Amino acid sequence: MRSNSVRGAVDFYSGLLLAVLAVAAIFLLRDLEIGTASDMGPGYFPVAISIVLLAVGVFLIGRGLVLDGPQVSGMNWRPILFVSLSLLAFALLVDRAGLPIAIVAQVAIATLGSSERSFLQSLLFGIALAAASSVIFVRLLGVPMRLFP
């Protein structure tokens, strides 16, 4: 048996991250009216999800302390970087260039973070996703979004 009290570091640190995010969300949502189950306020669902997230986090922390599990290894920052950049690109482009271009750009940039998918395959997926999103959100649901620059 290891002398370290954290036996499953991946579970422990994952749970810690979830718990911290949940507590932060609950804190940030504190001014929203929660209401009741029959008359839900704007904070009801976000707070409920945050409580579930907190429960999962506490469960994982406990599991990491009690059960043997994998230890934390080196972090691969490339996927995190490119997925984050893709979200930023979407946010910057959606109002200026339109929904389809923003989606294709997001998928293309996110693909740079993966070594498992070809760029052409991702580009085709991005085009299909952009077309489907444009039809569903703008045409069918009437969401007021720009389609083209």
Residue appearing with tokens 């954290």: 6
For residue 118, the model assigns a pLDDT of 83
**DSSP-assigned beta bridge partners for residue 40:** 35
For residue 4, the model assigns a pLDDT of 63
For residue 127, the model assigns a pLDDT of 96
Helix residue spans in 67-113 (DSSP H): 77-93, 99-111
Q: Which helix (H) or strand (E) holds 61?
A: helix 44-66
- Domain residue limits, the chain: 9-66, 77-140
What is residue 35's three-state secondary structure? strand
pTM for this one? 0.61
**Digitized pLDDT (tens) for each residue of the chain, 149 residues in all:** 444 678 888 899 999 999 999 999 999 999 989 888 888 888 899 999 999 999 999 999 999 998 888 777 777 889 999 999 999 999 999 999 999 999 999 999 999 988 887 888 988 999 999 999 999 999 999 988 889 88
For residue 54, the model assigns a pLDDT of 97
